[in-house]
């Protein structure tokens, strides 16, 4: 998986920098081409000579080579990379990355990198637990960066707690898993439904819901980043995406969404039904605005909309994977499992409006996934970008 991959190894100034030597050796052994970028304080802990001998490349630390004036282009290095690993990442470097403080070569390279970024924090337990570090790490996660959580153990201060940089072998395994998960969706056709549906009552009114499309679009973007050909069948939303490899089909009603999905699904490897589809629509569309009655309140008769997920579940082939969502307010697990089985889904993602930060319109979500084989995975509250990654990781390893 790592053979031929271009990896930037960013090293900042912490005692755990000694482990970066092992990490570098393991990456080279796995066949990666590694460019080391080290901060000025990183060089206090580990010498560039060791790193360049192991990587076979000059180590970059300054914007210019002092004696020749040669400029080191952080932009070119950023574009060259398939991945950037920052290990160790000190509290200071984490803060700079989170806030765009581009005062050294490592941070400018990070800001220019288009490739996925993996950050392995290393610091004393109190620094790790400080609200500013926590906030900065959350910011980095919300940018889509991968945080390789530090382990608990004895720290340089001899205190015991969380803050030890993850072992190099584990970091390499993390990268393996990442590249394997990227491979799994390459060239696959993925259908994602997103947003609400609007069921027209008259020219000025509709039945709808609060879905913003954020969750569905985040899944679509993550799948496209992993090389999938993605189609979003989207209800009316105010968001959009410029990610390549995403085709958006705009619909309004559940009926229109149903027709598009039934047409597209036979050509899909994966379908993820994230839209909040209205279960009912007015039986009759009134083509002029319903006037306010003097005495009587108008009665709108409703009819059932088609169940898109259930229809796809009925026509699903064994080589296809169908994933649904369950948005619940009560009796969550039972309701989710009932939908999983009734709609013949391979997996259902439960989000509950009982959890603050989860559900409609928010930038975060908290999910539990249930699989048709009985497996269950619970996740903490995360940004929808992170949740999308978890969802795709669990779909491909189901
Ligand atoms: O868009 P956001 O603001 O980011 O919010 C995200 C979300 C809360 C909308 C999303 O995470 C979510 O939970 N989507 C599913 C909402 C929903 O309609 O759940 P449900 O439990 O009513 O439906 C179960 C499943 O059947 C869903 O996959 C749904 O898409 C599908 N369904 C429902 C009704 C119907 N007629 N056809 C369907 O396909």
**pLDDT tens, 358-374?**
999 999 999 999 999 99
**pLDDT tens, 268-288?**
999 999 999 999 999 999 999
Look at residue 17 in the predicted model and tell me its pLDDT: 96
Cα 234 to ligand 1 centroid, rounded to whole Å: 12
Q: Closest residue (by CA) to atom 23 of ligand 1? A: 326
Give one word for 277, left, alpha or beta, with left for phi > 0 and alpha for psi -120 to 50.
Answer: beta
Do the Cβ atoms of 187 and 159 come closer than 8 Å?
no
Look at residue 74 in the predicted model and tell me its pLDDT: 75
For residue 398, pLDDT beyond 70: no
CA distance 160 to 157: 8
With a Cβ cut-off of 6 Å, ligand 1 is lined by 193, 195, 211-216, 254, 273-277, 279, 305, 307-309, 324-327, 339, 351, 359-361
- The DSSP bridge partners found for residue 205 are 202
**pLDDT tens, 136-151?**
999 999 888 999 999 8
Look at residue 151 in the predicted model and tell me its pLDDT: 85
Look at residue 154 in the predicted model and tell me its pLDDT: 84
> Distance of CA 143 to CAs 17, 112, 130, 136, 383, Å?
25, 13, 20, 11, 9
* Higher local confidence (pLDDT), 1 or 15: 15
Cα 203 to ligand 1 centroid, rounded to whole Å: 25
Look at residue 56 in the predicted model and tell me its pLDDT: 96
Which mutation among 324, 334, 343, 388 tests ligand 1's pocket best, with the greatest number of atoms within 8 A of CB?
A: 324
The mean pLDDT of 56-85, rounded to a whole number, is: 83
Give catalytic residues, as residue numbers.
209
Cα 350 to ligand 1 centroid, rounded to whole Å: 10
Q: Closest residue (by CA) to atom 21 of ligand 1? A: 326
């Amino acid at each position: 998986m790592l053979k031929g991959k271009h990896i930037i190894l960013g090293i900042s100034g912490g005692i755990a920098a000694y482990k970066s030597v092992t990490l570098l050796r393991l990456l080279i052994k796995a066949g990666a081409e590694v460019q080391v970028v080290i901060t000025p304080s990183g060089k206090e802990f580990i010498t560039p000579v060791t790193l360049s001998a192991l990587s076979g490349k000059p180590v970059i630390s300054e914007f210019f080579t002092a004696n020749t004036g040669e400029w080191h282009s952080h932009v070119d290095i950023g574009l060259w990379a398939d991945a950037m690993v920052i290990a160790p990442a000190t509290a200071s470097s984490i803060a700079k990355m989170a806030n765009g403080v581009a005062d050294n070569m490592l941070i400018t390279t990070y800001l220019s990198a288009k490739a996925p970024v993996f950050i392995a924090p290393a610091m004393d337990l109190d620094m790790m637990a400080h609200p500013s570090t926590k906030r900065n790490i959350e910011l980095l996660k919300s940018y889509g960066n991968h945080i390789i959580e530090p382990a608990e153990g004895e720290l340089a201060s001899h205190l015991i707690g969380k803050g030890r940089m993850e072992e190099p072998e584990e970091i390499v395994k993390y990268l393996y898993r990442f590249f394997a998960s990227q491979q799994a969706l390459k060239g696959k056709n993925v259908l994602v439904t997103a947003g609400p549906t609007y069921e027209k009552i008259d020219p000025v009114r509709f039945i709808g819901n609060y879905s913003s499309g954020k969750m569905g679009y985040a899944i679509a973007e993550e799948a496209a980043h992993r090389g999938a050909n993605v189609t979003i069948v989207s209800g009316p939303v105010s968001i959009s995406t410029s990610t390549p490899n995403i085709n958006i089909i705009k619909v309004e009603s559940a009926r229109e969404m149903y027709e598009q999905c039934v047409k597209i699904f036979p050509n899909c490897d994966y379908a993820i039904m994230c839209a909040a589809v209205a279960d009912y629509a007015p039986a009759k569309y009134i083509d002029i605005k319903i006037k306010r009655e003097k005495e009587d309140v108008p009665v709108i008769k409703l009819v059932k909309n088609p169940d898109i997920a259930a229809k796809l579940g009925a026509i699903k082939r064994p080589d296809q994977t169908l994933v649904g969502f369950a948005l619940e307010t009560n009796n969550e697990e039972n309701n989710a499992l009932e939908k999983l089985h009734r709609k013949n889904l391979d997996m259902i993602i439960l989000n509950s409006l009982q959890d603050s930060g989860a559900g409609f319109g928010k930038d975060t979500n908290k999910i539990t996934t249930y699989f048709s084989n009985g497996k269950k995975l619970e996740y903490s509250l995360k940004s929808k970008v992170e949740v999308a990654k978890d969802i795709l990781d669990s779909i491909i390893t189901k």
